[in-house]
Amino acid sequence: MMKTDNLYKKIVEFIRIQFNTDEFIPLHAPVFRGREKEYLIDCINTGYVSSVGSYVTKFEKMCCDYVRISYAVATVNGTSALHTALHMLDVSSEDEVLTQPLSFVATSNAIKYCGAVPVYVDVEKETFGMSPDSLSIFLKKYAEIDKQGNCINKSTGRKIKVCIPVHVFGHPVRIYDIVEICKDYRIYVVEDCAESIGSTVRGVHTGRFGKIGAFSFNGNKTITTGGGGMLVTDDEELATRAKHITTTAKTPHKWEYIHDETGFNYRLPNINAALGCAQMEELPKYINNKRELAKAYKDFFNDTEIDYFEEKQGYKSNYWLNAIIMKNESDRDEFLQYSNDKGVMTRPLWRLNNKLKMYENCQHGSLDNAEWLESRVVNIPSSPRF
């Protein structure tokens, strides 16, 4: 009870000072302070609010320039970008995809959409992302390369096609190490960058390390298109095919409706892209603002018994969601109850994917770190403050 009366009260008061309000404080709210209304009105005036219009192309170009990658294909959400990436890499029924249990369920769902099976590798406490050490241990124990050059899981007989590390809360994983390990086993890397727009490793933006990266622009992300995603790659052939299959695989013709393969209706509407263009113009300011908030949180929690989670040296995080690590599950639950009762939204980690009923039978190695984090981590309010 002493913590509730003193420390937890101080935390809530400090958060209220940061956001300068006595009202309810959400975990992460969108900010519209640029040319959003101007672009939306222009979009409406032209009549191009759906799948055709100039803002989609402009938004893709802005993302290419920001990430410093060759190609970007806008999609209706981050999950569809991830699903498209796996589909293009021929992930199909009875294949396996390595990923981490500590992620939003969309990561596992995208694998399942292809008919494939998720296999879970433990994360690191230092990054929240996939542990290269755990990945290496798993592959040395279970993987072999067959005569056709495929990576085979010896315990299941299935092909291991892809590895999906996740940049959790905007904090980059040890992606260089993961890519090198996967190269040895002929496994493609697809980066789940849903939360990491603006995050870099040694100055290189997330999404540029694997074969394909997938971003999200959902309403709760650092920038938003309402709902939207972006597939990025340096592979021209993959980018061309991604654009084709996400627009229902329709072949160009003035009036005929001809589709040459099973495609997806994953097109980002022009009106959403218009919002995205305005948000991209403000993104550097948002990142700076969020990193200032992270610095304030770090300084505050340094004087408490609660650990504040911060980026590794050489890694730059967008700090999409700030996180603190409680001493145990009881303290976590006590603080969640107290803060939410006081009108300050806080949230625990997602339930580990391997504990969800549809994925509970999926193969995994030791998940000690993921389970340790699941019982202790709390996200605290992280919106840009203007």
Q: What is the mean pLDDT of residues 164-187?
A: 98
Query: Is 266 inside a domain boundary?
Result: yes
What is the rounded distance in angstroms from the CA atom of residue 107 to the CA atom of residue 194?
A: 10
CATH number at residue 100: 3.40.640.10
Query: Is 137 inside a domain boundary?
Result: yes
Res. 237: pLDDT tops 80: yes
What is the rounded distance in angstroms from the CA atom of residue 329 to the CA atom of residue 216?
A: 30
CA dihedral (92, 94, 99, 103) positive or negative: positive
Query: Is 250 inside a domain boundary?
Result: yes
Only one residue has tokens 């802005």, namely 62
Query: Is 324 inside a domain boundary?
Result: no
Res. 227: pLDDT tops 80: yes
Query: Is 155 inside a domain boundary?
Result: yes
Maximum pairwise Cα distance, the chain: 72
The number of folded domains in the chain is: 1
Q: How many CB atoms lie within 10 A of CB 103?
A: 28
Instruction: Please name the helix (run of DSSP H) or strand (run of DSSP E) that holds residue 277, with its range, or none.
Output: helix 270-301
For 270, the 3-state DSSP assignment is helix
Query: Is 254 inside a domain boundary?
Result: yes
For 275, the 3-state DSSP assignment is helix
Cα Rg of the chain, angstroms? 21
43-52, 153-162, 214-223, 337-346: which has the minimum mean pLDDT?
43-52
Query: Is 152 inside a domain boundary?
Result: yes
Average pLDDT, the chain: 96
Query: Is 358 inside a domain boundary?
Result: no
For 93, the 3-state DSSP assignment is coil
Summarised one tens digit per residue, pLDDT across range 117-159 is 999 999 999 999 999 999 999 999 999 999 999 999 999 999 9
Instruction: Judge whether 121 and 142 are in contact, CB under 8 Å.
Output: no
pTM for the structure as a whole? 0.96
Only one residue has tokens 């199909």, namely 92
Question: What is the structure's pLDDT at 5?
Answer: 65
Res. 21: pLDDT tops 70: yes
State which residues form the domain around 129.
Answer: 36-280
What is the rounded distance in angstroms from the CA atom of residue 316 to the CA atom of residue 301?
A: 20
